[in-house]
Structure 1
Amino acid sequence: MKRFFVLMSCICSTVLLFAQQKATWIWYPGDFEVWLSNDMQNRRTERGTFFPPFWKMDSHYVLVEFHKEFDLPAAEEIQIHAEGKYNVKINGKMLAGMPSRVKLDKGKQKINIKVYNQAQVPALYVQGKNVYTDKTWLATFEDKEWIDETGKASDQSGTTYVHAGYWNFNEAAQAPSEFRLPTRPQEAVQQQAQGKGTLIDFGKNTFGFLTLHQLKGRGKLHIYYGESREEALATQTCETLDILDVQLQNANDTTLDLSKAFRFVYIEPDGQVQFEKVSMQYEYLPVPDRGTFKSSDEELNKIWEVAKYTMELTSREFYIDGIKRDRWIWSGDAYQSYAMNYYLGFDAETVKRTILALRGKEPTVSHINTIMDYTFYWFLSIYDYYQYTGDKEFIAAIYPRMRSLMQFCLDRRNADGLMQGLAGDWVFIDWAEGLSKQGEVSFEQLLLCRSLETMALCADLLRLPDDKHTYAAEASALKKKLFDYYWNTKQGAFAHSRIDGKRTENITRYTNMFAIFFDYLSAEQQQSVKDNVLLNDNIQKIVTPYMRYYELEAMCALGEKDYVMKEMKNYWGGMLKLGATTFWEEYNPSKHGADHYAMYGREFGKSLCHSWGASPIYLLGKYYLGVKPTKAGYEQYEIEPYLASLSWMEGKVPTPEGEIELYVSKSKIKVSSPVGQGTLKIKSTKKPRVNRGEIRQVDKNSYTLELEKGVNYEVEYAGV
């Protein structure tokens, strides 16, 4: 299989590439992401059967016009490459054929190129001395040109042009349609006879293409994949399999053409088929390891490493949910992957690709992934992206799609101005036994309120005062309803839902814990939620890492970091004790043996490598190393380290301009940063001493140190 390597690195590296090679492939913005996501998400199979996504799939625009105007200092020749049929107009005059080279005269030159491609994304690459394709070119899928009866073209156009989409395809031969993730060979750790066949163990969960060495003979190979030994050997119930027809007289190394997830592979021959050994081509997204964490607690270090590997496996062309099932882009899963990414690889490009792929194309006819809450997570992800990266250009580009999607949501409110599941809507929230999705669920109102606040923030960023006012007013009104309709004073918490206009008495964790880190509650209300909900064993417990992530973040926001450290070690450490090499979609400590593998009514339905299982990366980076931006792109940031039960910890947190490096023990802090203006917050029983800067006392046992970029600070303190 031919594999094409595409360098995927930080923004700085991309800038360097553009300095070396000005031209890049361009397309209508979002189209490549939609096309690539369609290709990726339709690779899923279930026991050999094609298994496409549940939701409407969009397609790229098949005809796109690109144009730009230049004022050339001298005549020059340009080279044109396109993915598809194309025509060229120079200053309104159509050129004959599909010219690959065009001479341009000195002076003002307007270039229009239309590209048509039904199968792949219409893309364009133009290279000249002063004329070359880049993000400043304009693109449209519309063409509202018209001529009158005399043949005169219209003087005005209603066509909407937008800035072209691009990534890092910076060579003419590096066509977007040829993109593939790179692979590298990986050996199995054990291969042994088992029953009628051979069982191969790769040592840990992995993802890629199986290779059969010295394969020969005539017959079939039945190949059964498993994230566990039990699954691979369960030939009637394992989730994924291949049946390979072999007709080879001479021995041959054969690599299968569809990637799979597995740790174990069981192979049974049918007929006269032989092979020498089995290896694989490991497929991966090449992202540098920028974020790090290490501490005095080896179990915690192992949790971080396994979380990192889980994130590596679920980071593909896009952030997907699980490598075995579903291999799709789910907005709720992706939202958590973005957060983990900001403390690991800081790969802004994959975040943008995933956001664009999830949004799809107009018209909007359903919620993202058909799930109401997943639509709202999509809004929240965009402002988070801006906070971590400072990338205002992306906010400006995505804002029209934000506005149309928000209008779709607002148009679906009921007479009371609340969101309620309509025909075709999936109200998910979480996998929890008996969790009601009926009526007007408070959690959906809470997420819509936060989404409206996000719209107002983005409108303000883009200087759209009318939009800002509209969305802020909508958010304020909904927030009032949230408290008026759902806050149960007697129980000191938000009710789960309203049905037929009446608040239910059911209390669940979801709305309450989100309201804490959304900062919607007073100090008294926070304490009430903490006591009556989060620390109340009578409230239905959460068994998915998906919502444990948010529950533990809420507890961190309440200052209960010792509790969270204990829970993190118990929950994720519990999976490690059961032999997990990646973190799971769901973990219930009360289950035993192979029961841990079952889900969705299937013996091996559970994903044992799921993106939302990697959340310790985020929790440790934000709340224990304690690093977070307080102004977009780390222009300003805070560091508030917390050791909990640790003797020491150290790590790196990536930013747009490099890594913040931190070491913390019970008596010393070392920190350096390449970015912005930082504030180090220190808890100490006496005034700390510092090699640079000035220590300021905030209150008893609380001090701050202002951090300048490029300076190495050492602080001696007496930990509280």
Structure 2
Amino acid sequence: MKLNKFIPRVVLLCLFVQTAVAQQKSVLTREYITPVKILWQDGDVRNSERLLQPGIGQGDLANRNVIILNNTKGGKKASILLDFGKELHGGLEIVTGMWGGGNTPRTIRVRYGESASEAMSSIGEKGATNDHAIRDFKTLVPWLGKIQLGESGFRFVRIDLEDESAELQLKEVRAIYTYRDIPYLGSFKSSDERLNKIWQTGAYTVHLNMQEYLWDGIKRDRLVWVGDLHPEVSTLSAVFGYNEVVPKSLDLSKETTPLPGWMNGISTYSMWWIIIHYDWYMKNGNLPYLKEQKTYLNGLVKQIVSRVGADNKENMDGTRFLDWPSSENPKGIHAGLQAMTVWSLATAAKISVLVEDKETEALCQLTLNRMKGYVPDANNSKQAAALMAIAGITTADKANKEVLSVGGAKNFSTFYGYYMLEAKAQAGDHQGAIDVIREYWGAMLDLGATTFWEDFNMEWVPNASRIDELVPAGKVDIHGDYGAYCYVGFRHSLCHGWASGPTAWLTEHVLGIKVMAAGSKVIKVTPHLGDLQFAEGTFPTPYGLVKVKHTKLANGKIKSVISGPKQVKIIR
């Protein structure tokens, strides 16, 4: 007797779909993190230091070693601020004890913060929000039980007992760290510990954003922003090699953006989609996957070309955007868009050859040939000057001398800083780029950062407080008092993947590891140590690790020891 003789096919299909959905498994790992410091407490709080002891996630009847928060009528609320030592993505687990007066649940208020001052803020104060993730909320906690709460990006957690004339006993408070449990295959170590820490911080910033999809931020902007993916994917490739989160995120962007739409509503972001696909192919060599993009790419190229006027100037609609710090420079934006149009069409032409689309290749080349006759003014925009150099619209030497090197790290940005560094390297100014990395990204570390931020301005540094302290009298709150555009004050994300560019740059230009053939089958190694005495590290390929060690000799020459998989040809 056959089952489908009695059950309609549509019912069988529904049962199959429901079973498939029910069997989905998370790619993410949960780890429990104990706080490392009690940063502040107020009201009647006793034995708080016990929260710094590792827990087991289980209540018990012994009711020993509990932390007591006690509220008296008319008195201060019992409150505590915990520091977990580094930025995390995830939530909070609270294990409670047996308070007297019955088993009534207690009401607490929980506030997550990427800075200590954000965890002390209320919604609406200095831009504090619950956008994208709820980071400020009230909830009940059980008597003699356990509860797991919330999900956001945070390092600090404040807990307040809200009930009047009540006692709360806490046995444990742990962060639930949610992440992809994958090895750091790439590495970087040099004679400068500051650069080493910057490389590692950029890698960790992207790692935190590798959730179900590749996000731009873990507190705010828990979304797939395609342009922002480019530096993230560059870092991810240098650190982790292949990971399914990249094609998964690229495919989501395509599926949610039917033409003639622009990805995320921004013309350059659709252009970045093209560039990422080519870079990803060069690193991993998956031609069948690249061919899956053929139809969409054909339509997208026609759409881009249709926005290039008879005067050979771009005339993009949608949001005209490079990055936030450049958004008030329309001439600079035009120059950047012109460069992005050239760069993306040149890349689309390369892809078209690979996927055997002669029509798209010819259209790209025809448009590129006529765009060569127009060179826009960067209008002192470091963003535009960098893109123009990369796209070949101007020389890297000119861009570096006249714009990029002016003022050192002044007017750098966390997103487009990567392309500024790339253009400086193209101009041969590797030492200048290393100096900027130390100054600009290093300044965030000096202020207590464990991940890199959505934006940063060197003008914020004087008299600024660290993010891992309550703001001292006379100091400026680096988190709450700064920020602009969509990231004013505490809305500012302090873990933004687009800021990770130095990690990819140090691997490619200081270690000198550059992919020359699809699938990383040919690697060229040309180190640029600048003032470093040595630099060593690894780079993941589909066949294994390429390993390099460069040492500067007494005569200034560099001795290199290089090895790699037999499938990878290494040239110098």
TMscore range, shorter length: 0.7 to 0.9
- The structure 1 residue matched to 2:388, chosen from 496, 499, 515, is 515
Instruction: Classify the secondary structure of the residue corresponding to 1:536.
Output: coil
Go from structure 1 to structure 2 and tell me whether the alpha carbon gap of 1:527 and 1:260 turns closer, same or farther (over 3 Å shift). closer
Q: CA deviation at 1:200?
A: 1.1
Alignment map for 1:405-420 (pairs within 5 Å): 405-414=300-309, 416=311, 418-420=313-315
Alignment map for 1:423-434 (pairs within 5 Å): 425-432=318-325
Q: Which has the higher contact order (CA 8 A, sep 6+)?
A: 2
The answer on 1:209 being equivalent to 2:77 is: no
Q: Please tell me whether the aligned partners of residues 191 and 534 of structure 2 are also in contact (alpha carbons under 8 angstroms).
A: yes
The answer on 1:245 being equivalent to 2:114 is: no
Alignment map for 1:135-534 (pairs within 5 Å): 177-179=24-26, 181-191=28-38, 193-195=41-43, 196=77, 197-214=79-96, 217-236=104-123, 237=125, 238-240=128-130, 241-246=135-140, 248=142, 250-256=143-149, 258-271=150-163, 272=166, 274-276=168-170, 277-361=172-256, 363-414=258-309, 416=311, 418-422=313-317, 425-432=318-325, 435-437=328-330, 441-480=334-373, 482-483=374-375, 486=376, 495-496=377-378, 506-521=379-394, 525-534=395-404
Give the match for residue 498 of structure 2: 612
Give the match for residue 535 of structure 1: 405
Determine the C-alpha separation between the residues in 2 that align with 1:649 and 1:540: 23
Go from structure 1 to structure 2 and tell me whether the alpha carbon gap of 1:474 and 1:433 turns closer, same or farther (over 3 Å shift). closer
Q: Please tell me whether the aligned partners of residues 212 and 275 of structure 1 are also in contact (alpha carbons under 8 angstroms).
A: no
Determine the C-alpha separation between the residues in 2 that align with 1:245 and 1:541: 45
Go from structure 1 to structure 2 and tell me whether the alpha carbon gap of 1:619 and 1:439 turns closer, same or farther (over 3 Å shift). closer
Determine the C-alpha separation between the residues in 2 that align with 1:468 and 1:456: 5
Q: Report the AA paired with residue 387 of structure 2.
A: F
Q: Report the AA paired with residue 262 of structure 1.
A: F
Determine the C-alpha separation between the residues in 2 that align with 1:572 and 1:534: 16
Q: Report the AA paired with residue 535 of structure 1.
A: S
Go from structure 1 to structure 2 and tell me whether the alpha carbon gap of 1:445 and 1:540 turns closer, same or farther (over 3 Å shift). farther
Determine the C-alpha separation between the residues in 2 that align with 1:389 and 1:406: 24
Determine the C-alpha separation between the residues in 2 that align with 1:470 and 1:329: 29
Determine the C-alpha separation between the residues in 2 that align with 1:292 and 1:115: 50
TM-score of the superposed pair, with normalisation by structure 2: 0.80
Q: Please tell me whether the aligned partners of residues 239 and 604 of structure 1 are also in contact (alpha carbons under 8 angstroms).
A: yes
Q: CA deviation at 1:542?
A: 2.4
Go from structure 1 to structure 2 and tell me whether the alpha carbon gap of 1:518 and 1:677 turns closer, same or farther (over 3 Å shift). farther
Larger Rg: 1
Q: CA deviation at 1:174?
A: 8.8
Determine the C-alpha separation between the residues in 2 that align with 1:390 and 1:356: 17
TM-score of the superposed pair, with normalisation by structure 1: 0.64
Alignment map for 1:37-116 (pairs within 5 Å): 97=7
Q: Report the AA paired with residue 156 of structure 2.
A: F
Normalized per residue, the structure richer in strand is 1
The answer on 1:596 being equivalent to 2:478 is: yes
Determine the C-alpha separation between the residues in 2 that align with 1:123 and 1:413: 46
Q: Please tell me whether the aligned partners of residues 637 and 676 of structure 1 are also in contact (alpha carbons under 8 angstroms).
A: no
Q: CA deviation at 1:330?
A: 0.9
Determine the C-alpha separation between the residues in 1 that align with 2:42 and 2:306: 59
Q: Report the AA paired with residue 328 of structure 2.
A: L
Q: Please tell me whether the aligned partners of residues 220 and 243 of structure 1 are also in contact (alpha carbons under 8 angstroms).
A: no
Q: CA deviation at 1:366?
A: 2.5
Offset from partner CA, 1:190-231 (integer Å, 9 cap, x none): 245235311111011111111111167434211111111111
Q: Please tell me whether the aligned partners of residues 207 and 283 of structure 1 are also in contact (alpha carbons under 8 angstroms).
A: yes
Go from structure 1 to structure 2 and tell me whether the alpha carbon gap of 1:351 and 1:281 turns closer, same or farther (over 3 Å shift). same
Normalized per residue, the structure richer in helix is 2
Give the match for residue 564 of structure 2: 673
- Runs of 5+ unmatched residues, structure 1: 1-78, 80-86, 89-94, 100-112, 125-171, 487-494, 497-505, 682-720
Go from structure 1 to structure 2 and tell me whether the alpha carbon gap of 1:468 and 1:292 turns closer, same or farther (over 3 Å shift). same
Offset from partner CA, 1:608-666 (integer Å, 9 cap, x none): 11112222211111001101111111222200112222111211011111100111112
Give the match for residue 48 of structure 2: none
Quote the RMSD (CA, aligned, Å): 3.0
Q: CA deviation at 1:255?
A: 0.5
Q: Report the AA paired with residue 42 of structure 2.
A: Q
Go from structure 1 to structure 2 and tell me whether the alpha carbon gap of 1:275 and 1:380 turns closer, same or farther (over 3 Å shift). farther
